[in-house]
Structure 1
Amino acid sequence: MDIQIEQASLEEIIAISKNIPEFENPYQLTDYHKRLDRVKYLALKALVNGQAVGFKLGYDLGHQIFYSWFGGVLPNYRRYGVAKKLADTQEEWVKKHNFHFIRVKTRNHFKPMLIFALKSGFSIINIEKKEKTEEHRILLEKALI
């Protein structure tokens, strides 16, 4: 499978996210602007045969930490290396822009994301407990230096 990674607009990110079933209430453009308008960010999309099949979006948290905030891959394109290619491209950009760490947060019930992060060299640094165990937030970090 030939996977192309390109920078994306926020509108393109929104369009892709609406087709990912795990995202029950997709963010609106105003939500993105609230979080991203005053920070350096990177929005990437993955293309297969010209079709957008995934995305990855992250931003500068300060203190040389890049937060990989949001991403996903359409179900029919999972297990083909799309998420890895997006993550690798993001990591290359993050290193070039002198960040020392990448952080990511996932929910306990998103097991594939948690496993992907652990296999990619991230370590669990904190757990935000919620009322339901499956909703616990797991914060992971990867050192780049």
Structure 2
Amino acid sequence: MPSSQKKRTENLIIFTIKSGTLIEVLAVLHATPEFENHYSIEDLNHRLKKTQHLILVAYDKEHPIGFKIGFDRFKDGSFYTWMGSVLPPYRRGGIAKALARKQESWAVQQGFTSIRLKTRKKYKTMIAFAENSGFTLVEEIAKIPEAETRLLFEKTLT
């Protein structure tokens, strides 16, 4: 059974996190139902080129099951956590939280003082994740329909 269809038989999911590749990111991204706009490797490379960035991938054995990408978007001491996902069968197992912690730890080591993320009002799970992870809403960019309104969150790193 492919890892994207793996059934969780217990609450404990064993996974590892390490630096990954954009090919691995795309494998997870294209299997994520929330992402209507599927990026190409060229799109991802374009966004990350000439900027300090981090690509983390979570694995179940050798299979990518989640990722988190961030980069120095604003050049103001903040690190932008751009995109992340965990495959649906692996959700609620602490993987997103572990990816975020590892990204935050790396950002502190690199001298960043805060982390920013942007989401849309329609992504209630992401909003809850941000709020439960210590982020504060700092900007709302109105869009029509309202569900597309962008929300910018920020968290001070210590």
Q: TM-score interval w.r.t. the shorter chain?
A: over 0.9
Distance 1:136 1:110 in 2: 10
Alignment of 1:103-142 (within 5 A): 103-142=116-155
Unaligned ranges ≥5, structure 2: 1-12
The residue type paired with residue 70 of structure 1 is: M
Identify the residue that residue 59 of structure 1 maps to in structure 2. 71
> Of residues 104, 109, 124 in structure 2, which corresponds to 1:91?
104
The Cα shift of 1:114 comes to 0.5
How many residues are paired up?
Answer: 145
> Of residues 24, 29, 46 in structure 2, which corresponds to 1:34?
46
SS at the partner of 1:55? Answer: strand
The Cα shift of 1:50 comes to 2.6
SS at the partner of 1:130? Answer: coil
CA contact (8 A) 2:27 2:64 kept: no
Distance 1:129 1:73 in 2: 27
Identify the residue that residue 60 of structure 2 maps to in structure 1. 48
Identify the residue that residue 24 of structure 1 maps to in structure 2. 36
TM-score norm. by structure 1 comes to 0.97
The residue type paired with residue 114 of structure 2 is: F
Question: Bigger radius of gyration, 1 or 2?
Answer: 2
TM-score norm. by structure 2 comes to 0.89
For the pair 1:102 / 2:115, whether they are aligned, the reply is yes
CA contact (8 A) 2:117 2:154 kept: yes
What's the Cα RMSD here? 0.9
Q: Calculate percent identity across the aligned residue pairs.
A: 41
Poorly superposed stretches of 4+, deviation over 6 Å: none
